[in-house]
Every structure is written in C-alpha cells, then in structure tokens.
Structure 1
Amino acid sequence: MPVLTSREDEKLSVPEFYAGKSIFVTGGTGFLGKVFIEKLLYCCPDIDKIYMLIREKKNLSIDERMSKFLDDPLFSRLKEERPGDLEKIVLIPGDITAPNLGLSAENERILLEKVSVIINSAATVKFNEPLPIAWKINVEGTRMLLALSRRMKRIEVFIHISTAYSNASSDRIVVDEILYPAPADMDQVYQLVKDGVTEEETERLLNGLPNTYTFTKALTEHLVAEHQTYVPTIIIRPSVVASIKDEPIRGWLCNWFGATGISVFTAKGLNRVLLGKASNIVDVIPVDYVANLVIVAGAKSGGQKSDELKIYNCCSSDCNPVTLKKIIKEFTEDTIKNKSHIMPLPGWFVFTKYKWLLTLLTIIFQMLPMYLADVYRVLTGKIPRYMKLHHLVIQTRLGIDFFTSHSWVMKTDRVRELFGSLSLAEKHMFPCDPSSIDWTDYLQSYCYGVRRFLEKKK
C-alpha cells in the first residue's frame, strides 16, 4: 500500500504540513524573522525544531542576544500559554557572510540531517550600502545557503524573502509576479566587486534601480530561480513592511524602517516637504500578513515537483491601495491628538515633484527654524538638539525620495488565489490577502504601535 506524501495528501492543513518538521531560518532576529518564528511556534504546535542562524553582535554573546530576543513582548502569548515551545528554537552560531555560513561541522551535520524547510530572510536592509557589502550579504550569503540546501536529506521547500522593489524601476509602473530579466550580468558584477568597484561604476550598474539594496536583491532572485531545478523554491516579495495588523499584538513593531520614520518625522513637524505627489501609492503591507504568506506558501508548495518557480508579491497596491496623503494624515492626527509634536504647526507640509524646490523649501521651512531653535536652546543654557534631528530627517528622506516620487502597482493575483484555496480555519489563522484591510483602523493601530513600542510611551 503506497504511503501518502505531503503533496499526495491534499487535505493536509498548514499546521499539519509543518508537524514533525524542522525549519532553518536566516535573518530570524530581524523584524520579519521574529514574527514568522513566533507564528510558526504558536500556530503549528507540532513543529519539531526551528534552527536559527545567529552571530555575536555589538559585544553581545549569542546567548545574550537570544535572551534579548525572547524578552520582546511579541512572545508574550507563547510564554503565557506554551512556554515550553520556545525551547524548540535551536541556535546555530554562524554568519551569512562567512565561508560555509560559519557553521561548525557538527551543526552542519544536524542541518543536513534534520531540516525540511528553509526560510531565507537574511539581508542588509541599508539602501545605499557599498556594493561589495550588499553583494557579500545579499548575493553570496544566499548562494552559500542554496548550496547547503542541495545537500539536505529532507529538504522539501526553499523560501526566499526578496522585495517588491527589486523590479520597480522608474520606467516600470506595474510589477507582475514573474521573474524579470536581471539588471546586470552576474559574472560581470562579481568581477567588478572582486576588482574593487567604484561609485561611478556602481551607478552605471544599477540600470534604473534606485540603490544597491534593490539591485542585489534583483540579482539574487536569479540565483534562487536556478535552484528550482533541485528543490521546490518560492520567492516572496514584500513591499513596505509595517506593524502587525492582527496578532499576536496589534500595532507591534521594532524598528523605524520603511514608512515609519518619515511618517513620524513629518507628523511631528520635523519634516515639511516630500518629493512626490499626495496621490502616490505607498504599498504598505502588515508584517503579520508577510509572515502568514511565507508559512502558507511553504506548506502548499513543499515537496511539490514542478518546473514552475512560484513568485508571490506580498503587496496591497493592486487590490487595496493607500496613498501617501492618507498615511501622513493619520500620523499627523495621532500626533495632534496625543500632543506629541516637536515643532510648531504639526502637519504643515507640502509635496513637490521638483528637487530644486524640495531643497529650497527644506532650507526655509525646516533647516532655518531648527537652527534658530538650537540658538535659543544655547542661549538658555540647554544642549542643542534640533540640527542633529534635522540631519537624521534629511538622511531618512534621501533614502526614500525615489519611492515617494514614484507610484507602482504590484500585482497579487497569485497571493489572492492561494489565500482563496485555504479552508475557513486557515484563512482565520493565516490572513494574507490585504483586500479587506480598513486603512484608517490599521493606521491608527500603527501609530499606537510607534508610541508604545518605539517611543516607549503609554
């Protein structure tokens, strides 16, 4: 009598697919990584182990980093309801940039013997990282992980976290769930990086992409695509990842990246001008929706023999768009309501499509008032602070000017089809279709999350 595999038994639920399996996660200590680790443990209670690649950082040992990791309120419900499940997290000392990921022989053997699913979330998220550094982390790190996965005895699926903006150039306003041509020749880029690439050469290589982050992520998609020949492979492309919408904690977030920093700066009166139009779409997606899609896509594709590389755009712009004006409005109203602005007249700002006007307005309405405010502080015996804040605002804005000044539609047909195939119980447990998000309600919880988890206010 034949034994049913996970693919032959189409009735397996998402939790049943992960039952008894072990997962290897890179980037697990990051914003998204934390969320899908918590979700896997909580919603797939029969999972065997989650092996997490981790390195020493900022004078913290691996054990100290793990202790800090689990201290996050994100893990509160697991600690209260099933604290023993946190012991399923097994630390694997290593480094995505080190040869063979910095794995010891014993840990490599464990991974080769035990792992069924890989979730590759490790990446540098600095937009303008020097190309050699972005290449080493985003491209070479993934290359080593792919090589390791091909030797794993139980591997069923490799899930790679890319970005929706890896293919969003100034001349492509619609991004489909397909593999686009590489922005440059992989071997040529490798040789330039090896020989010492200059800033001018880097600028030419970008080929319409805004920074080294999106450029190297686009190249990495092609490495991952080649892997489909060996192991069922999935690419997930999140857009602007923001706070948790539903669970385990509404509004939770742990960094200022994405839309958070510039929205808060603008709402508090520190930023008065944005490059772009009020009607431009900001493709925001809740972090729990990304984590849910990762988990569901892995379960529904794991072990499936197919020549098709599955790519999912985890985005909101094509089915439920939200504008730049709407986001700034909600953040500003929250700031006024909670009296948390820093400069007078919170919410007074303008949009412009001209860079020269952006510079002029910045000098008149941002830099000059902050300079005068610092002069006043010095005269009254206080430490100046506003020009330092202004520098941070400008650095943040420079990093996102390309994104606020353009508007894209990221197609999500495949995501919505996948979600539609789930049972009612799975849809409730793993929501990942943004079609029904109420943006006013969500953005209000997002603002609350900023106050509670980033500003540490009640």
Structure 2
Amino acid sequence: MVPLTIKDEERPSVAEFYAGKSVFITGGTGFLGKVFIEKLLYGCPDIDKIYMLIREKKGLSISERITQFFDNPLFDRLKEERPANLEKIVLIPGDISIPNLGISKEHENILVENVSVIIHSAATVKLNEPLATAWKINVEGTRVILALSRRMKRIEVFIHISTAYTNTDRELVEEILYPPPADIYKVHQMVKDGISEEETRKLLNGRPNTYTFTKSLTEHLVAENQAYVPTIIVRPSIVASVKDDPIRGWIGNWFGATGLSVFTAKGLNRVFYGDASNILDLIPVDYVANTVIVAGAKNGEEKSKELKVYNCCSSSCNPITLGTFMEMFTEDAVKEKSYDMLKPGWFVFTKYKWLMVLLIILLQIIPAFLADIYRFLIGKDPRFVKLQYLVTQTQFTVEYFTSHSWEMKADRVREMFASLSPADKHMFPCDPTNINWTEYIRDYCWGVRHYLEKRK
C-alpha cells in the first residue's frame, strides 16, 4: 500500500464527493436554505448544479424572488470570488404544499435524470399552525419528495431536516429514532375527515404544538425510505445566527430565540415562564448547514444501510442557560444603547402561570400604556401597546420551551467532525464544543442590529 502524503491527508474529501454532482433543495429561500446554498457553492466549487424548488410569494414572481434572493449580503463573497458559481442554481417552479409539488413534467424529468443528493428543508415553521395545514406541508409534502427520490436514477443520499424537538416527552434525546407520538395512518384519516381544535389538542397528547407533532411523524415516514434510498435525518435545535462564515452574525429572520431575546434586551419583555437555569439549546445556522453537507458526503460515500440520525445541538456538550443568554443579550443592548424601556436588564422567572399573567400586566402592559401616553403628550405616535401585543403573543407561543429543559446528545456529529481532514474541518466546522458563547452572542447581537433592525 502506498502511504498517504500530507497533501493527500489534507485533501478536502467533502468537496470531492459533491464534485460533478447535482443537488435538489427544498426550502432554499428560507433562512437555513440560503446558507445551505451558499455553503455548497463556496465550499464545493466543482458541484454541477443546485436545483432549487421555488414558488411565487406575496405578489412576487419567481424571477423577482430570485433577484431579491441574490441581493442578500450572504452571497457577497461568492459574487466577488466565484460569480460564475451562482449560475449553477437552476430554478424549479413549484410548491411543497400542492400535489406533485406543482412541478412540470419537463422539470420532473430533469430531476430524475440528474440529481444525486436531496436536501429536504421545506416545512411550515409556525408552531401553532392548524393541524391540516401542518400535515399538508410537513408530512404530505415530504411524502411526495420521498416518492420522487425513489425514481431518481443517480440518487445517492436523501437528507431530511427535522427538529431536535420531535421528542419533547424525553429529557434526554439521543441520536436515534424514537416511537411515533401517534399512528400516522390514523392521523391521516382524521385530517382527511376534518379535525377540530379540541380533537387536535387530544391528539397531540402533551406535545407542545402541531409543528413538533407533525415533524415527529414525518421522521418515521422518512425512515421507511431507507429501504430504497440511503437516508439520513438531521435534527437542529434552535437555529440562530452565523458563527463563522460567510458573515459572522448574519441572520435572516426573527424566528427561534431571536424575537423574545430582542424584546427582553429592549426592556419590552420582563417575564419568563420557567427557570433561569433551564438550558437554551442554540446552534449556529452555519453549523447546521455544515453538518448537513458533511453528513451527506459521508453517508453518500459509505452507502450505509443504516438510517442515521444527527442531533445538531449544543445542550449536551456546550450548554448555556436561558438566564445567562438573556443577560448577555441585554448587556449588549445596554452597551450599544439599543433599548426602548428603562432598566432593560431587569426581568423575572416564574413557574406559575397565574403569576406570569399578573406580572405581564404589572411590568409590561401598564408601563407600555404609560409610555404611549407620554409619547402622545410630546407629539409622537404611540407604539408600545402595539408592541406589547407582539411581545405577549411571543411569550405564550414559546412558554413550553422556556419552561422545560432537555439534554440532546450530539455524539455522532462530533465524531463525524473529528474524522474530517484538516481542510474539511476548516471549511465545514460543526462541533458545538467550539462555540465560545461570549463571542458568539456578541456577534449575534450585532447581526440583529445590522440585518434585522437595519442599524449601521
């Protein structure tokens, strides 16, 4: 056997796997999807094509949406260093929520003939979506993508993006497939027959919302695909801003922990239902993208017959508490003078729902009324009562997650990262133990001000 040279050992094998291959991505226009696409085009420069499912939205045509898509600063380094790679994106007009994805026969044939890797990221992320809607997108949409994957002539791996919160009934969540929360076929029939909100609550049986419920069921649908196509499941926890590249601190929406964190840092939120010592499981969006890309390459090469689950999480190996995170976010707001109400660092935790409601009235709603009266008297438009509606709506939406704490194992992700060459470790960092929370939250706060609040 010829011994490996240092040059061979440092060769970026992940990029080599994707060289000459085409990837089909759903959910590509979303926060996570944008990072998938940028990282694939930049980190795997010899990739052939990225086929991207895209639909018209909010009065914007597909061409207008893709123009808006490329205007994002996330793609600046590609424009500067490898602009030709952006031409590798091929748009597939369609919609995950309609039969056969709404794609034409011509486009379907292109996918069947050319795609080697599927990254299925599309989902409704609204936590309390009506079950019928969540089912149509998260379950039925996935079923159609799975059926399409089985017809693809070059398919090597199917990657399903799930969520770490598919098993909220367990305090310790490992990288395995747990029993489903209900019989998927019975749920299908109930949705088909029409299901009321009360029936939905009973069906959830302690699960916090229709999002986690349908994503849990979908994992089992995906698991069945392993018999036909090498399949993996990636479970991110709460996805937050970019840690390393392409832009430290970049963030694309107010979802996850961002909304409540900003409300707290501005002094608009004073009350948490839960305990300050509860773990907040955050993961940078680029770590999720890197995990997916690397896992796809590793499993595509191995052609494993085992369904592998990757928890893309930080709680088991590099935890940060909810209280510490909110304190750091608030300290940055005070330092940067980016707050609206007096003493934004003052907030309380309670385990009693009645006390939470009382404290919201006393510490948030009444001060908001007083602040708006003051604004009216000095000739400014009232704004704080309206903001409080959003704040309280957010508080009650995420109360289940602030009042619980989980330990989510990420051993498989860490082992995978440890197996990479030095070059791949540099290009695709994804080991949660490498996150310095002080530095990361500083950049996260900067990203919120710069990209969401549009402050310079």
Which TM-score tier does this pair reach, normalised by the shorter chain?
over 0.9
Matches within 5 A, 1:154-169: 154-169=154-169
- Structure 2 CA distance, aligned partners of 1:102 and 1:437? 41
Residue of 188, 200, 212 corresponding to 1:214: 212
Contact 2:138–2:218 under 8 Å retained in 1: yes
Matches within 5 A, 1:382-421: 382-421=380-419
Which residue identity does 2:249 align to in structure 1?
Answer: G
Q: Deviations over 1:392-445 (max 9, x none)?
A: 001111111000100000011111111111111111110000112110011100
Q: CA deviation at 1:307?
A: 2.9
- Structure 2 CA distance, aligned partners of 1:67 and 1:83? 14
- Match of 1:60? 60
- Structure 2 CA distance, aligned partners of 1:104 and 1:386? 48
Q: Deviations over 1:157-202 (max 9, x none)?
A: 0000000001122xx1000101011101111111111111011111
Q: CA separation of 1:12/1:287 partners in 2, compared to 1, >3 Å: closer, same or farther? A: closer
- Structure 2 CA distance, aligned partners of 1:130 and 1:303? 40
- Structure 1 CA distance, aligned partners of 2:163 and 2:203? 19
- Match of 1:75? 75
- Structure 2 CA distance, aligned partners of 1:397 and 1:63? 37
- Structure 2 CA distance, aligned partners of 1:252 and 1:206? 35
- Structure 2 CA distance, aligned partners of 1:430 and 1:273? 38
- Match of 1:105? 105
Residue of 423, 428, 444 corresponding to 2:442: 444
Aligned CA RMSD, in angstroms, stands at 1.0
Contact 1:182–1:218 under 8 Å retained in 2: yes
Which residue identity does 1:257 align to in structure 2?
Answer: F
Q: Which runs of 5+ in 1 are unaligned?
A: 1-10
- Match of 2:141? 141
Contact 1:272–1:349 under 8 Å retained in 2: yes
Q: Secondary structure, in 3 states, of the residue corresponding to 1:228?
A: helix
Q: CA separation of 1:235/1:305 partners in 2, compared to 1, >3 Å: closer, same or farther? A: same
Say how many residue pairs are matched: 446
- Match of 1:240? 238
Q: CA deviation at 1:12?
A: 7.6
- Structure 1 CA distance, aligned partners of 2:87 and 2:98? 27
Q: CA deviation at 1:138?
A: 0.3
Residue of 369, 372, 375 corresponding to 2:370: 372
- Structure 1 CA distance, aligned partners of 2:215 and 2:209? 10
- Match of 2:114? 114
- Structure 1 CA distance, aligned partners of 2:358 and 2:414? 44
- Match of 2:4? none
- Match of 2:91? 91
Contact 1:232–1:303 under 8 Å retained in 2: no
TM-score by length of 1: 0.96
Residue of 254, 261, 279 corresponding to 1:263: 261
Contact 1:18–1:47 under 8 Å retained in 2: yes
- Structure 1 CA distance, aligned partners of 2:378 and 2:442? 37
Q: CA deviation at 1:380?
A: 3.7
- Match of 1:4? none
Matches within 5 A, 1:126-137: 126-137=126-137
Q: CA separation of 1:268/1:195 partners in 2, compared to 1, >3 Å: closer, same or farther? A: same
Q: Secondary structure, in 3 states, of the residue corresponding to 2:227?
A: coil
Q: CA deviation at 1:303?
A: 5.1
Matches within 5 A, 1:320-399: 320-399=318-397
- Structure 1 CA distance, aligned partners of 2:13 and 2:302? 15
- Structure 2 CA distance, aligned partners of 1:436 and 1:248? 17
- Match of 1:319? 317
Contact 2:12–2:423 under 8 Å retained in 1: no
- Structure 2 CA distance, aligned partners of 1:80 and 1:297? 28
Percent sequence identity over aligned pairs: 72
Which residue identity does 2:90 align to in structure 1?
Answer: V
- Structure 1 CA distance, aligned partners of 2:78 and 2:120? 23
- Structure 2 CA distance, aligned partners of 1:179 and 1:115? 27
Q: CA deviation at 1:372?
A: 1.6
- Structure 2 CA distance, aligned partners of 1:449 and 1:357? 34
Q: CA separation of 1:311/1:274 partners in 2, compared to 1, >3 Å: closer, same or farther? A: same
Residue of 170, 190, 193 corresponding to 1:192: 190
Q: Deviations over 1:306-354 (max 9, x none)?
A: 3310000000000000111111111111111111110111111101111
Q: Secondary structure, in 3 states, of the residue corresponding to 1:118?
A: strand
Moved more, 48-57 or 379-388: 379-388
Q: Which runs of 5+ in 2 are unaligned?
A: 1-10
Contact 1:31–1:253 under 8 Å retained in 2: yes
Contact 1:243–1:253 under 8 Å retained in 2: yes
